[in-house]
Amino acid sequence: MRYSVYSEEISLDYAGRDDAAGILGTIKPITDAIARGDDLETLETKALAYLCKEPEASVYLADAEGHVYKHLINSKYHEAVEAADQRL
């Protein structure tokens, strides 16, 4: 099965959630995929590389049917920003 990485510009529907299958919900992408791959592990690596270049971004890993399996952010970046905000 083919998988894709999408930016935060999506419409996420939690009604399609299936915890047993690891599905967070379903999406209807508004933009083109950032990356594509044949397995989630390889695609997650691509997604993490994207988040290194775009640390403020939020990405979703989904299959060809629009089932979302993961939502990723650059946690270290967001933690650093929050810590800096608290020092102000």
Model pTM? 0.80
pLDDT of residue 57: 85
pLDDT of residue 82: 83
DSSP 30-88: SS--SEEESSHHHHHHHHHHHHHHSTT-EEEEEETT-EEEEEEE-HHHHHHHHHHHHH-
For the segment 41-85, what is each residue's pLDDT rounded down to a tens digit? 999 999 999 998 988 888 999 998 889 999 998 888 778 778 888
Q: Are 47 and 6 in contact (CB under 8 A)?
A: no
pLDDT of residue 21: 94
For the segment 2-52, what is each residue's pLDDT rounded down to a tens digit? 999 988 667 888 888 999 999 999 988 767 889 999 999 999 999 999 998
Q: Give Cα 53 to chain centroid, integer Å.
A: 14
Q: Are 30 and 58 in contact (CB under 8 A)?
A: no
